[in-house]
Amino acid sequence: MAVDKILCVLGQQDIPVIQEQPEFTVDLLDSNVLLFGSPMSGKTNLIRLLITILHKQYRENEEQIFILDFGGALANFESLPLVAAYFDNANEEYVKRVFKLMEDQLKDNIKQLKGKNYRAATDNQPVHTTLFIDNVNAFLDEPRYSAYQEKLAKLCRDGLSKGITIVMTASSTKGLGSLMGNFKQKIALEMPVDSYMEIFNHKVIPVGNNPGHGFANVTVIPEGITGTFPLQVAYELQLNIADDISAPEFHNNLKVYFQNRTVKKYKRFPEVLTKLLYDSFVAELNERSDEHSVSVGLDYTECKPVTIDFNSSKAVAIYGKKGFGKTNTLNLLLENFIASPQYRFVFLDDGREQLKKIYQKVQSRSRYIQFNEEMTIDFKNSKGSWTENMKLSPMQLLVKEIHENYMDLSQVRRMSNLVLGELFGAGVNIPSRAGLIDSKYTIFVLQSKFLYVNSIASKIFMEIILPSLVARADEMNWIFIFTDVKAISDSETRENFHSSISAAYLLDSIAEFVGERGQKSLFGSMDVKSLKEEYAPCEEGDGYFYSIERDELKKLKFIRYEEE
């Protein structure tokens, strides 16, 4: 059955012109509600009152509630059956998330209603949504929330007719001038005298310090009233006291009414997402995966696992600032493979030795390249054969490892020159076993600034060797993880590297990162302005996953890797 009214009795009014003191009622399908009041005047009580009334009158298939709590007094309502989401202002991403969810809800409702007003819909009526914002002044005063103010204005303007009602509390009229016209129902508790004039356009006699006592215009004509009176005039009001949701009677009634049914819940992440907490979030999803499907965290919008499938993504890049969690991400990506004895590893480390701890876990089945090494290299030309003792750079050592054990590079050329000759000297003779040994199931973990500098070695690797390796990665079950990607100045080298990568992680605030790196990263084609509007700055443990193949960007909370 379609809902055409959501009537909530909030208190009692005194209307002298008709000498009556009727119940004060609002219709949430007819009016957005804006409540003003000084601290401790009873504003939060109104939200508590409305939430408890909605739980008494409606069920999970009729109503859902979202709460943005800038006052900090509504956290205990999060677990109630109709509360889909409760977010405070501790993390800006939660604020962004609410407006994203509301935008999507509005679009879905418009589509479902097919041009009809919500109240007029007799079938396919969406679940009604009420968005509560406690202490909206804190939201408007925060510069970091400026990108969401237009989104709020749109919801206030367009939401009511499509099944989304906004209920807000405020301590002053500052910044609310452009929004107030979208709030048919206004309530003012204890306020400065001048503020009543701004709210109601006429004077009232202040009520003084009397919590829950104030003024309101009339939007629902009380039952049984025969006389007429102006509706926009402010009449004295005494709000009812909200039920105590911790009282046994209230909880017992919830059990009877809802039978443990709830609306879809959008959860908050803890400051640190441990593996145990992650498992508790995804326990209900019943998702199955193999060792090649690796989840590193939960996305902010749907609280679903952010997973990379190494069956299809063979080359991965990790970007980010120092101390933001790049090594943590690498540990998460490698955990399954370290536990599987069939995998071998090649590590290219730098002076920080951040890969050494991982290498020590799989030392018996891995090659670790870090500093220059002195080796005897054979040479041969038409005049004869000879050997030389050479101190090989880390990049030379990496290419030598690949040539000897993974891909014969003896006939590979860059322009007209053999690449081995360019790297080691003309006539170099390094035998390759690549066609004779089983080198499948190898993970290359590459972390060195020499990969990204403008040098012959990096150009040969990025432009010739890496694309050839990635082309065979499916056949050979090879995986390439670049763990701390730096900016690449050479455009051709950069283009070849980017075309080889299928997925990337970023441990940094994306708008800031793209603004600094520009086109020198995989994220460079993205628009800084739209990124600032779409995504909040990263908190501890936050980051992004970018699937190049699907052109899909997700912000997520990473699992904190814990050593066993």
Of 287, 320, 306, 293, give the one whose Cα is nearest residue 554.
306
Instruction: Find all residues with CB under 8 Å of 166, minimum gap 6, and list them.
Output: 32, 33, 130, 131, 133, 152, 155, 156, 159, 160, 182, 183
pLDDT at 285: 67
- For the chain, what are the domain ranges? 7-258, 275-366+443-558
Residue 20 DSSP one-character state = B
List the structure tokens of 289: 């995966």
- CATH fold of the domain at 275-366+443-558: Rossmann fold (3.40.50)
d(CA 279, CA 284): 9
Predicted structure pTM score = 0.82
pLDDT at 267: 82
Is the Cβ–Cβ distance between 235 and 215 less than 8 Å? Answer: yes
For 34, the enclosing helix (H) or strand (E) is: strand 33-36
pLDDT at 432: 96
CA contacts within 13 A on the Cβ side of 442? 23
pLDDT at 122: 81
Where b means 16+ CB within 10 Å and e means fewer, 336-367 reads: bbbeeeebbbbbbbbeeeebeebbeebeeebb
pLDDT at 309: 93
As averages over each run of 10 residues, the pLDDT of the chain (564 residues) reads: 90 91 95 94 93 96 95 91 92 87 94 92 91 94 85 95 97 92 95 90 83 93 84 93 93 91 87 90 68 88 89 95 92 94 95 92 95 92 92 95 96 91 94 93 96 94 96 96 94 94 95 87 90 85 93 94 78
CATH class of 7-258: alpha beta
The SS3 call for residue 431 is coil
pLDDT at 207: 78
pLDDT at 225: 81
pLDDT at 289: 59
pLDDT at 290: 61
